């Protein structure tokens, strides 16, 4: 599942930086397979590719 960091910041304005969020996801929620840095309309964004583990799917509901 891919999630935009800017999309997440829109819902959670006080979210930590993208790098810190990757650590939080990896240690507590799911596996981050990759992080892509993109620029769209002169605005930076990071796309987090998450691998939802079967025993953690209920945490993401």
pTM: 0.75
Rounded Cα distance, 53 and 41, in Å: 34
- Which of helix, strand or coil describes residue 10? helix
pLDDT of residue 54: 74
Give residue limits of the domains in the chain: 2-52
Provide the terminal-to-terminal Cα distance of the chain, rounded to the nearest Å.
13
Q: Kindly give the parts of the chain with pLDDT less than 70.
A: 56-61
DSSP letter assigned to residue 47:
E
Looking at residue 57, what is its pLDDT?
61
CA dist list (Å): 24 to 31, 39, 42, 57: 10, 24, 28, 16
Tell me how many degrees the CA angle 52-56-58 measures, rounded to the nearest 5.
Answer: 105
């Amino acid at each position: 599942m891919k999630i935009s960091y800017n999309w997440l910041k829109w819902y959670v304005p006080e979210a930590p930086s993208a790098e810190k969020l990757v650590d939080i996801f990896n240690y507590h929620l799911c596996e981050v397979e990759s992080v892509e840095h993109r620029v769209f309309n002169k605005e930076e964004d990071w796309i987090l590719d998450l691998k939802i583990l079967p025993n953690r799917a209920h945490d993401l509901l």
